Amino acid sequence: MGVMTSHRKRPEECMNVNHSTTTTTTPPPDSQRKRPRLLNSMSRPAPTPNGIVSRISRYPDAKPPLIREVHAPCRNRKFDLVRRDLAEPRTPARARATVDVKGSVLFAAYEEARRSALAEVRYLPSKGKEVIDVDAESSGRGVSDDSGVGEVVEVHDLEAKVVVDGGVVRRRQSTSSPDSALTNKGDNSLKVVVSGGKVWGSEIDFSSVQAYKKLIESADRRDDRLKRLEFEITLNEKRRETFNLLRPKKELVEVVPKEPFVPLTKEEENEVARAFYTNRKKILISHENSNIEISGEKFQCLGPAAWLNDEVINLYLELLKEREQREPQKYLKCHFFNTFFYKKLIGGRNGYDFKSVRRWTTQRKLGYGLLECDKIFVPIHREIHWCLAVINKKDKKFQYLDSLKGRDSHVLNVLAKYFVDEVKDKTGKDIDISDWEKEFVEDLPEQKNGYDCGVFMIKYADFYSRGLGLCFKQEHMPYFRVRTAKELLRLRAD
């Protein structure tokens, strides 16, 4: 039988233009190899540079990647097809398949231990916790309790099991495992563990009588706690009120009537303005009881930014005494020394001379006893600054008032000694002033410039003689200057 041969090349040989590639087949004889190559070159055109064959020949043959051998169990992939079968019952064949796929017996042992541990944790019956039976027909949302007592709620439902573990609700299919605590009553009832008294994400309606009673009890516990907190709040409020009563309070400033701040009328303002522009040598004011005369030149001290002189201060203090005598029921009984008293009192060799002022306060000269007065006012002139000292018999105090917040304990010591000598001279008795307070008044209107000290001083005496607190300020000084000028012109203090 003859053998038929074919000199035609196979398609793969025709496409193979990479002559450098080695093959494992035995090359044909020269007679058969050269002829097709000649025919091929004659019958087929040469490949163009942009042809498919020429482009394919540029790339080398693909080499397979190196295969990495696994010498130890690898980490499980997150999405593994084998893990879908973990929920299926464990069989020896499935266990072997798992070992074959994972390549390690340790992984199968790990899965087995993990599964048994989860079963023990999820279905372990809670000890010392109360069980509430809920009807199987109930459904709906869970009820949360604010109490801190853990609870186990049993629901007769064969379709689902919900375990609340640390506030997380897990839902599992019912099982008939004999190790499960859900089969204690033989009905595969559902137990919901309420951690911290709360059911998170539960879809169960606690509508039975027992659950309702439990909610009522938890509400009562909350009410008791709220009542206890309310009692503590009330008790603390009462304690605070008691402490406020015991806390020392500053002297309250009384409501000032309108009398110390009555504005001047248009006629009074014109009268004061004319007095400021009168002849400086003309006597504007003459007071018979004190024999004080004030000329136009001395009256100018009541103008803006001027220092008050002795005549104006002494006349104003005399008018304050006359005001008290006109209306004794309205004002305190006071005595006002003039500006020369203190200078005379400290004019002795030792800085104290009672004899020089002993006859200033006789009953015949004053018309009343000095010891009958509630307050005794003593103007103090310290070179270029006016202050006020008060012998406050009503409150048993020696007070010192300085508009610049200055202090001079020597003044209070001198007045204390004078008061003891005055009582001894007029009554023949020794008075004990050891319990009297020496006070430097701090809560008083403060001077903001260098020329209103005299106005501050006479207004201290004015308000104290009224029995009022010192409720004026630096802003009132221009008004007080004009009002004092009006009162001096009319010889009447309002």
Asked which of 67, 93, 123 is the last residue of a domain, the reply is 123
Q: What are phi and psi of 81, to 5 degrees?
A: -65, -30
Q: Tell whether 233 and 301 lie within a shared domain.
A: no
pLDDT at 19 over 60: no
The answer to whether residue 240 sits within a structural domain is: yes
Mean pLDDT of 449-463: 95
Give the confidence band of 57 by pLDDT, cuts at 50, 70, 90. low
Element (H, E) at 440: strand 437-440
Q: Tell whether 173 and 273 lie within a shared domain.
A: no
- Listed ranges 107-116, 128-137, 328-337; the one with the highest mean pLDDT: 328-337
The answer to whether residue 297 sits within a structural domain is: yes
Q: Tell whether 242 and 345 lie within a shared domain.
A: no
Q: Which of 301, 334, 387, 453 is catalytic?
A: 453
Q: What domain range includes position 102?
A: 85-123
Asked which of 77, 98, 123 is the last residue of a domain, the reply is 123
Q: Tell whether 423 and 302 lie within a shared domain.
A: yes
Sequence-ordered list of residues with C-beta below 8 angstroms from that of 80, at least 6 positions apart, any chain = none
Task: Report the CATH number at residue 414.
Answer: 3.40.395.10
The answer to whether residue 13 sits within a structural domain is: no
pLDDT at 16 over 90: no
pLDDT at 455 over 60: yes
Q: Tell whether 367 and 418 lie within a shared domain.
A: yes
Q: Judge whether 385 counts as a catalytic residue.
A: yes
Q: Return the pLDDT at 281.
A: 92
The answer to whether residue 31 sits within a structural domain is: no
What beta strand segments (E) does 288-425 contain?
Answer: 292-295, 334-336, 375-382, 385-392, 397-401
CA atoms of 136 and 158, how far apart (whole Å):
9
Q: Tell whether 164 and 306 lie within a shared domain.
A: no
Q: Tell whether 283 and 136 lie within a shared domain.
A: no
Q: Which of 385, 408, 425, 471 is catalytic?
A: 385
Give the confidence band of 68 by pLDDT, cuts at 50, 70, 90. low
Mean pLDDT of 402-411: 94
Q: Tell whether 393 and 464 lie within a shared domain.
A: yes
Q: Return the pLDDT at 386.
A: 95
The answer to whether residue 348 sits within a structural domain is: yes
Q: Judge whether 410 counts as a catalytic residue.
A: no
Q: What are phi and psi of 324, to 5 degrees?
A: -65, -40
Number of domains in the chain: 3
pLDDT at 182 over 70: no
The answer to whether residue 35 sits within a structural domain is: no
Q: Tell whether 267 and 227 lie within a shared domain.
A: no
The answer to whether residue 5 sits within a structural domain is: no
Q: Return the pLDDT at 74.
A: 58
Q: Which of 106-110, 245-249, 397-401 shows the lowest mean pLDDT across its residues?
A: 245-249
What beta strand segments (E) does 149-229 contain?
Answer: 151-155, 160-165, 168-173, 190-194
> What letter would DSSP give residue 198?
B
Q: Judge whether 476 counts as a catalytic residue.
A: no
CA atoms of 160 and 154, how far apart (whole Å):
12
Q: What is the pTM of this model?
A: 0.51
Q: Tell whether 378 and 277 lie within a shared domain.
A: yes
Q: Which of 242-256, 374-388, 473-487 shows the lowest mean pLDDT across its residues?
A: 242-256
The answer to whether residue 195 sits within a structural domain is: yes
pLDDT at 97 over 70: no
Q: Return the pLDDT at 28.
A: 53
Q: Which of 145, 402, 452, 462 is catalytic?
A: 402
Q: Tell whether 388 and 481 lie within a shared domain.
A: yes
Asked which of 123, 151, 173 is the last residue of a domain, the reply is 123
Q: Tell whether 333 and 479 lie within a shared domain.
A: yes
